[in-house]
Amino acid sequence: MSRVTLIEPASATPAAAEQLDAVRKALGAVPNLAKALANSPSALKGYLGLNGALGAGQLSAADRERVSLAVAEVNDCDYCLSAHTYIAAEVAKVGEDEIVAARRGTSADPRSAAVVELAVKVTETRGSLADEDLARAREAGLSDAEIVEVIAGVALNVLTNYVNKALDVDIEWPAVKPLAELA
């Protein structure tokens, strides 16, 4: 059970209600993550702002979902693994093999593999990349803008991973466990 109240749009403050309504319009529903973040309209606004900005960036929706899956796997976040497995398959149209590959930190596509590998490296090193890490990303064809978007995507997903784990946010998606728990 969630450790904070999940704020329903009908009982939210005006600022949070407006943001939750925008989430509902965009997704057709309001995920529990947004309801948890609505306890702080500022936190919800920050999350939605960065998420929206990255959605208009250079990385494809499929690669953004790969980043989300890889980061959630590194951080053992059941909620985000569940949400992004569903979103990757149903919205970004990422195939099952590629979803599993992203969770393992790779992809069959060399360019997407570079995106995911960079995301894993940023997550595992908490941003302490070596020159070789950036060189590999560039050799695979990633632009500086895409490299920055991968790093920003990691930061966004670390935020959601930590909120979901720390607050034990109820999972409303088809449940997915980290690979380490399945071994």
Kindly state whether residues 159 and 82 are assigned to the same domain: yes
Kindly state whether residues 95 and 166 are assigned to the same domain: yes
Phi, psi of 30 (to 5 degrees): -115, 105
pLDDT tens per residue across all 183 residues of the chain = 899 999 999 999 999 999 999 899 888 899 999 999 999 999 999 999 999 999 999 999 999 999 999 999 999 999 999 999 999 999 999 999 999 999 999 999 999 999 999 999 999 999 999 999 999 999 999 999 999 999 999 999 999 999 999 999 999 999 999 998 877
Residue 68, domain member (yes or no): yes
Residue with tokens 């499929």: 62
Kindly state whether residues 103 and 151 are assigned to the same domain: yes
CATH number of the domain that residue 126 is part of: 1.20.1290.10
